[in-house]
Amino acid sequence: MKSQEEHEAERVREMTDLMRKAREAGDKTYTYRHGKFLWDVVGQGVITALLALVALYGIAVGWLRPLMAVVLVVSLYSVWNTFVSRSYVHSVRINDEAITFECFGRERTYLLDQVHHMRLREFPGTYKLYVRMDDEGVFHGRYWVRGWWMSDGDELFYRLTDLETRLNPDSLKAHARRAN
C-alpha cells in the first residue's frame, strides 16, 4: 500500500506530465461529447424556453405574478446565453496563432497576437472554465468550457490556463502559477 507521500508524488508527476502534454499539443480541436452536449446545452435550453412560456402564461392569467416574473427573467437569461450569445461551446480549437470557440455552427476566432486580456474562472475539480475574452459583451466573448465532457478535457483545461498565463503575464494569477 502506498504512503501518503508516494500518492502525492504520483499525483504531482501525473499533473506535470499532463501540463507538458498540453504545452506540446500544437493545433488541436477539443469537442464536447455529442450526447452530453444535446442534453446539457440543447435540452436544458429548450426546457428553459418552455419554462419562459409557462411563466408568461402565468403572468397573463395572474397566477403568482411575482414568482412568474422571476422565473421569466431567469429563463430568458438562460435562453439568451444558450441560443443567442452561444456561451456554451461545442468545440474549442487552439493553435499557435489563434483560439476558436464554436457553438451551433458559429465560430468566433481570436488571434493570439491581438488578444490583450483573457480571463478565466476555474473550477479544477470538473475541469470547468468560464472564459472571458477581450471584447466580451452580451453577444460574444463569454464562454463556458466544460472540460470534463470534452475530448481531452484535462489537457484543454491546462492548455487554457497556460494560455491565460502567457497572455496576462503580469496578473496576480500568473505570478501564483509561476510560483507553484
Reported as a single tens digit per residue, the pLDDT across 63-88 is: 899 999 999 999 999 999 999 999 99
Mean pLDDT along residues 125-151? 87
CA gap 28, 31 in Å, rounded: 10
Using DSSP's 3-state secondary structure scheme, residue 24 falls into coil
CA gap 123, 147 in Å, rounded: 10
Q: Which of 40, 12, 42 is nearest to 128 (CA)?
A: 40
Q: What is the pLDDT of residue 7?
A: 66
Q: What is the pLDDT of residue 167?
A: 85
Mean pLDDT along residues 137-162? 89
Helix (H) or strand (E) holding 123: strand 118-123
More confident residue, 41 or 117: 41
Alpha helix segments (H runs only) across the chain? 4-23, 34-37, 44-61, 65-79, 153-167, 172-179
- Is the separation of the CB atoms in 36 and 149 below 8 Å? yes
Q: What is the pLDDT of residue 169?
A: 77
Q: What is the pLDDT of residue 18?
A: 61
81 CB contacts (<8 Å, ≥6 apart)? Answer: 87, 88
> What share of the chain has pLDDT > 70, as a percent?
88
Mean pLDDT along residues 108-136? 89
Q: How confident is the model at residue 3 (pLDDT cuts 50, 70, 90)?
A: confident
152 Rama sector, left if φ>0, alpha if ψ -120 to 50, beta otherwise:
left
The x, y and z cell numbers of residue 9, run together, are 508524488
- Is the separation of the CB atoms in 118 and 112 below 8 Å? no
CA gap 157, 6 in Å, rounded: 25
174 CB contacts (<8 Å, ≥6 apart)? Answer: 164, 165, 168
Q: What is the pLDDT of residue 139?
A: 77
Query: Dihedral of CA 104/129/137/47: which sign?
Result: positive
- Is the separation of the CB atoms in 150 and 33 below 8 Å? yes
Q: Which of 135, 153, 147 is nearest to 25 (CA)?
A: 153
